[in-house]
Structure 1
Amino acid sequence: MTSHEDLAVRFGTPLYVYDLDEITAARHELFDALPEEFDLYYALKANPHPGLVRALRDGEGRSCRAEISSTGELAAALEAGFDGSECLYTGPGKTLGELREAIGAGVRLFSTDSVTDVRRVGEAAAGHGVVADILLRVNSASATATSSIRMTGTPSQFGFDSETLGDLLPDVLATPGVKVRGMHYFPLSNAKDENALIGEFQHTIAGAAELARRLDIPLDYLDIGGGFTVPYGVPGERGHYPKLRAELEAALDTHFPDWRAGTPRLACESGRFLIGASGTLLASVSNVKVSRGRKFVITDAGINTFGGMSGLGRLLPVAVQPQAGAETESASLVGPLCTPGDVLGREITLPALSPDDLVTVPNVGAYGPTASLLMFLGRPAPTEVIVRGDDVVSASRIEHSRSYLPTAPGASE
């Protein structure tokens, strides 16, 4: 593979480098961990770069589908070669305008979170003279996960609460323009280990079977969500799931005896696992200073480049990849922005760094530029380079621009 140092010289920093071979390996590994009957959706929120999305669709072996939550992600999926019919459109706040655009582009499968959401999908579908398939996203009353990022079992903007779904179901089923095809669950994100993930999937499968039976919900399709893990911004390997396939098959045999014949059709979804380990962030040290006994290493990559979701309190700190045998010290790694919040790691272990040295942060293929405060303070977006082996496949940068709209009532350009 072309060295990071060479790429930094060629393209400058801050620089993201994405390895397509790693993405291909992650896709094969996750498909191998799932029963063959499963569809696998890639969640574009993790990284919508069309070159990376294309790698999850194309190539040898089984292909991912696309899980999208905006018309921007839809555009990225279409640019990557997906057809609208290969997309699952999710999100609790879909507008009528975006639904019309999505249906016009061929999207026919939507995860819905409320009666209002269902009605909007139906109105948009009817306007196009079609019927949209919907999944009812379910917010279960309980969950098995005690760690990781909980996405169910609590009050939430996501999904129908399982205990009140029965009261709402007549309105859902009576909505014109839609057909209920099944259910969608997403109980957790970034499970701490395989046993936690298996336990949550078993809980989901049992709960879906019970709810479908009790409420007589049509169940042609069941998406049980994700939770597959990879380190974020620190060294480490993707999670491994040697027991998952057998445990899923056993749970499905118990609760859905006809699942192998396609009743219901099944799906999982993943973002970070498929893409996270492919990315490396390269940044240059601008300055090293000491303030009242504490050392600060200032780089050209800040929260506008990486970690803009740090306000959620779950993505920091990063860990810099040291050279073998290199001397280390404790210091804060900060960015170039004019705010004290521009911190990638406080008092973390770093190599002994000097101005113009190159800093390397691993496992940043997911939740990088598009999950950051990209436009804050008007600094250029980082360059993103895609490589396969020694070949540079593409180099690009997101550009900021402002479009002016007509100001006079009824005026158009």
Structure 2
Amino acid sequence: MTLLTDLARTYGTPAYVYDLQAVRSAHADLRTALPSGTELYYSVKANPHPLVIACLAGLGCRTEVASPGELDAALGAGVPPDRILLTAPGKSESAVAHALARQVTHFSADSPTDLARIAGQAERLGVPAGCLLRVNADQAVPGMGLSMTGTASQFGADASWILREPHLFRGHDMARVTGLHLYMGTNIAEQDKLLRQFTIGVELAAALRTSVGEHLTTVDLGGGFGTPFARQGDRPVFTSLAKELTSVLDGGLPGWRDGEITVAFESGRYLTGDCGHLLTTVLDTKESKGTRFTVLDTGIHHLGGMSGLRRVPPVSPDVLHATATATATATDADGVRRGTAPAPRTGAGAERTRTPGVLAGPLCTPLDTLSRNTPLPPMETGDVLAVPNVGAYGLSASLIAFLGHHLPVEIVVDAGHVVSATRLHLTRHDAGPGETGPSSLPAHHLEGAPV
């Protein structure tokens, strides 16, 4: 915790801290868990920080993006256009044109309409595109926390529809179908369930190749590799997955070892989840009608905002003491608290009995609670806390525009040294009719600024 303590003292809270050494370690573990010779995409939605994107691109990852903003983030981080795949169940003409104008020509297409839209923009701009056909499997994989396909879904085209009317899915002159995209679930920590979903994907890909066309050269089997979120715990290591997957690929997609077909996987959560901590300061502790409340300077606008709106299960994060007290506070030019941070809490005082209480944020809404009736360690006003395992789906998956609070500092460290400290700002720009893109946005634009 010493480094976190120093960072809280220097940059104040709330603050996200991302460790690039942890990113490299996760990448090494995942590459070991996947068959040699397969491709790996980093899903930018997990953490779009440019240094995180650049780190994984430098390790050999291709990049999967799901919006013009993510696409620009990848290009800005130095990812070559030909190593970017644009996905999403709904892509507007302007989003497709935005990609093609920047020489990003690889797409995942979810329907005949989507294929036609990509083809139309490719013809208009004179830039040929290649498409992976996103497939919604007819068979679900049991035991998944969040299914992407295998049920009624906005993602992809049902496999039965493709097999019934394959002529609708063979692409266009300027938008050729070059492969298949199967992504069945997310946040799966059990190796047997991962293997089961990939086995279903390989079997389906083998069937569809003979239906849609033997010219298909890529099968993207998705990912879903799980890891703890906002709770203590180690990232799982899938020790025998590579061997078992290799056998599955040999049986279902012969020729993949010789490069006849490229097999790809995707990950965002696994690659970045354990690289991040969220530092936060206790603003108040009090009791209300017999309930203990601990109010923090962070909340659903910085962590798990979708959970705060009850769209997904509650986060209920673990909070660990990073400091004993904040002995002095000041306010910087942006109105953000900065506090000094003494040594981490240690000894018997750190192990005192936890008591149930509510962990609340500073927002003016009763929905701003991170946990309820959860055993919490003793806390005092000014204590600095750390939430672990929030390198993925932290800040970017939260309600950053709600109530206008300043966004947390984002600090990137490598080998114990700070390599970047920036803060995103929301700004408003004029927008012309029908215009999109970084030079003319219809609402808010995220800008990074050094701290």
Question: How far apart, in 2, do the equivalents of 1:135 and 1:221 lie?
Answer: 8
Residues in 1 aligned to 2:243 and 2:431: alpha-carbon distance in whole angstroms? 56
Partner of 2:409: 383
TM-score by structure 2 length?
0.87
Instruction: Indicate the residue corresponding to 1:95 in structure 2.
Output: 92
Identity of aligned residues (%): 39
Structure 2: tracts of 5 or more residues without a match: 322-344, 434-439, 441-451
Output one character per residue of 1:294-343: Cα deviation in whole Å (capped at 9) or x when no partner: 11100000111111121322351111125675212221111000000001
RMSD of the alignment, in Å? 1.7
Q: Which amino acid aligns with 1:316?
A: V
Relative to structure 1, the CA distance from residue 191 to residue 76 in structure 2 (aligned partners, 3 Å threshold; closer, same or farther) is same
The residue number in structure 2 matching 1:326 is 351
| Contact 2:163/2:208 (<8 A) preserved | no
Work out which of the residue numbers 180, 199, 213 in structure 2 matches 1:183: 180
Farther-moved stretch of structure 1 (31-40 vs 316-325): 316-325
Structure 1: 5+ residue stretches without partners: 408-412
Alpha carbons of structure 1 residues 225 and 315: separation in structure 2 relative to 1, 3 Å: farther
Q: Structure 2 residue aligned with 1:397, among 423, 437, 440?
A: 423
1:280 matches 2:277: yes
Equivalent-residue separation in structure 2 for 1:199 and 1:174 (angstroms): 30
Of 254, 257, 272, which residue of structure 1 is paired with 2:254? 257
Equivalent residues in 2 for 1:280-359, closer than 5 Å:
280-310=277-307, 311-321=310-320, 325-327=350-352, 328-359=354-385
Is contact 1:46-1:272 (8 Å) kept? yes
Partner of 1:44: 44
SS in 2 for 1:252: helix
Contact 1:188/1:226, CA 8 A, preserved across alignment: yes
1:168 Cα shift?
4.1
The aligned residue for residue 445 of structure 2 is none
Find the residue that maps to 1:3 and give its secondary structure.
helix
Separation (CA, whole Å) in 1 of partners of 2:197 and 2:209: 18
Number of residue-to-residue matches in the alignment: 405
Offset at residue 112 of structure 1 (A) = 0.6
- 1:108 aligns with 105
Contact kept, 8 Å, 2:167 with 2:212, in 1: the verdict is no
* Higher mean displacement: 310-319 or 276-285: 310-319
* In 2, Cα distance between equivalents of 1:217 and 1:374: 46
Residues 115 and 168 of structure 1 are in contact (CA less than 8 Å); yes or no, is this contact kept in structure 2? no
2:341 maps to: none
The alpha carbon displacement at 1:174 in A equals 5.4
Q: CA deviation at 1:167?
A: 4.1
Over 3 Å counting, the alpha-carbon distance change for 1:109 and 1:315 in structure 2 is farther
Residues in 1 aligned to 2:237 and 2:81: alpha-carbon distance in whole angstroms: 31
| Rounded Cα–Cα distance in structure 2 between residues aligned with 1:318 and 1:208 | 39
Q: 1:405 to 1:129 in 2, by over 3 A?
A: closer
Distance 1:195 1:119 in 2: 38
State how far apart, in whole Å, the 2-side matches of 1:208 and 1:143 are: 15
1:410 is matched with which residue?
none
Please give the alpha-carbon distance, in whole angstroms, between the structure 2 residues aligned to 1:190 and 1:28.
19
Q: 1:174, 1:135 → 2: CA distance? A: 10
TM-score by length of 1: 0.95
Deviation, 1:175, is 2.8
| 1:177-214 CA distance string (max 9 Å, x none) | 11111100000101141111111111111121122224
How far apart are residue 389 of structure 1 and its match?
2.2
Cα distance in 2, alignment partners of residues 214 and 175 from structure 1: 16
> Paired residue for 2:398?
372
Provide the residue aligned with 1:208 in structure 2.
Answer: 205
Distance 1:314 1:98 in 2: 31
Q: Please give the residue correspondences for 1:20-39 in structure 2 after superposition, counting only pairs within 5 Å.
A: 20-39=20-39
